[in-house]
Amino acid sequence: MKKIKIAIQKSGRLKDESLTLLKKCGISIDNGRDQLKAEASNFPLEVYFLRNSDIPKYLEDQVVDLGIIGENLLYEIDSNLNPLIKLGFSKCRVSIAVSRDQEVNDPSYFEGKKIATSYPNTTKKYFSNLGINTQIHKISGSVEIAPNIGLADGICDIVSSGSTLFKNNLKETDVILNSEAVLVKNNSADQEIDALIEKLQFRIEAVLRAKSSKYILMNVPNEKIEQVSSILPVLKSPTVLPLAISGWSSLHSVINENDFWNVIDQLKEAGAEGILVSPIEKIIA
């Protein structure tokens, strides 16, 4: 039987979160220290641990079937690989930043200026689209130090929390793109592998739906059930169970975590009481 070959980063947060996702999908990976390849014991899947920058090439050459990488890398290399799913972790943005004491009102400030970056193609595309000429200096690491030592007037780099910029006396002026980890497939047409990928994708989507949702149950007066139900963005319809107390029911549903507090306030105003909210492990649609 064929196995899916999936490439993930060999070290760092992207590796840890990728393995956590596979574990939540019920896939057990036996990976020892410094292993470059590991097999799942309960799913037809092999994991290749690679340098992040090498994963697109392995996909393009069809050495692996899937890869978990950041959208920002696909944009930087101008890849024709298409993401299957956004995975919701390793979120960041690619931004332009300058010294905090520098006044920058619009991108035209960078005309003729020097930009230090590990993402030269992304930087070039951004300023070219704006019709702004800049001098781009490619740096492999420690980009944030460049303005402080006079190497560049600004930088283009990945920003997560912004704490690294703050520590280096920098501030963001422009966000080029927002990025997160994505599951990417190569462009082969192997039907057996595609069928396995569909099974894996089904599991991943079930995990992601659960991650962004909460299970909610509450006590509601019977005359308020219709009003409360209209507030809930349910999968189909809420579950309603009678309570031992006459005239009351227990109503069960699912809400999106982003809507949580807004929905809770509306439910209380509509007469819901004893509201209980719990995490969800999986949602099978």
Tens of pLDDT, residues 233-285: 766 678 899 999 899 999 998 888 888 888 888 999 999 999 998 988 888 87
Would you call 44 exposed, middle or buried from its count of C-beta atoms within 10 A (0-12, 13-18, 19+)? middle
pLDDT value for 197: 95
Same domain, 61 and 72: yes
pLDDT in tens, 133-170: 999 999 887 899 988 888 899 999 999 888 989 999 99
Judge if 82 and 197 occupy the same domain. yes
Domain ranges, residue 15: 4-90+180-210
Residues 122, 149 within the same domain: yes
- Per-residue pLDDT of 198-247, as tens digits, reads 999 999 999 998 888 889 999 999 999 989 888 887 666 788 999 998 99
User: Do 134 and 260 belong together in one domain?
Assistant: no
User: Is the CB of residue 70 less than 8 Å from the CB of residue 92?
Assistant: yes
pLDDT digits (tens, 9 = 90+) for 44-90: 999 999 998 899 999 999 999 999 999 999 999 988 888 999 999 99
What value does the mean pLDDT of the chain take? 90
pLDDT of the residue at 30:
79
CATH number, domain of 275, equals 3.30.70.120
Q: What is the pLDDT of residue 32?
A: 64
CATH number where 98 lies: 3.40.190.10
- Flag whether 100 is in a domain: yes
Number of independent structural domains in the chain:
3
Q: Is 210 helix (H, G, I), strand (E, B) or coil?
A: helix
| Angle between helices 13-24 and 191-211 in degrees, nearest 10 | 100
Reported pTM: 0.84
pLDDT level of residue 35 (50, 70, 90 thresholds): confident
C-alpha distances out from residue 80 to 74, 146, 168, 184, Å: 8, 32, 35, 11
Indicate whether 188 and 80 sit together in one domain.
Answer: yes
Q: Looking at the domain assignment, is residue 284 inside a domain? A: no
Q: Is the pLDDT score of 98 beyond 70?
A: yes
